[in-house]
A = this chain, B = another copy of it.
Amino acid sequence: MFIKENLSRKEQVYLHATEMFKDRGYAATSMRDLANSLGIEAASLYSHIRSKEELLRKICFDIAAEFIGGLINVEQKDIPASEKLRLGIISHTKVIARDLASAAVFFNEYRNLSPAYLHDFLLLRINYINRFKKMIKQGIADDEFAEVDIKLAVMTMFSSLNWMPTWYNHTESIDQEKVSTELAQMLIKGLKK
User: What is the interface of chain A, defined by CB distance below 8 A to chain B?
Assistant: 23-28, 108, 111-112, 148-149, 151-153, 155-156, 158-164, 167-168, 174, 178-179, 182-183, 186-187, 189-192
Contacts and interface: CB of A to CB of B under 8 A. Distances in A.
Contacts of A159: 159-164, 167
The copy count of this chain in the complex is 2
Contacts of A163: 155, 158-159, 162-163
B167 A111 contact: no
A152 B24 contact: no
Contact of A112 (B25, B112, B149): B25
Contacts of A186: 148, 152-153, 156, 190-191
22 contacts: A27-B27, A27-B28, A151-B167, A152-B174, A152-B179, A152-B182, A152-B186, A155-B167, A155-B168, A156-B160, A156-B183, A156-B186, A156-B187, A158-B163, A159-B161, A159-B163, A159-B164, A160-B160, A163-B163, A187-B190, A189-B189, A190-B190
A74 to B, nearest CB: 21
Contacts of A167: 151, 155, 159
Residue of A151, A162, A191 with highest tally of chain B CB at under 10 A: A151
A174 B162 contact: no
B155 A112 contact: no
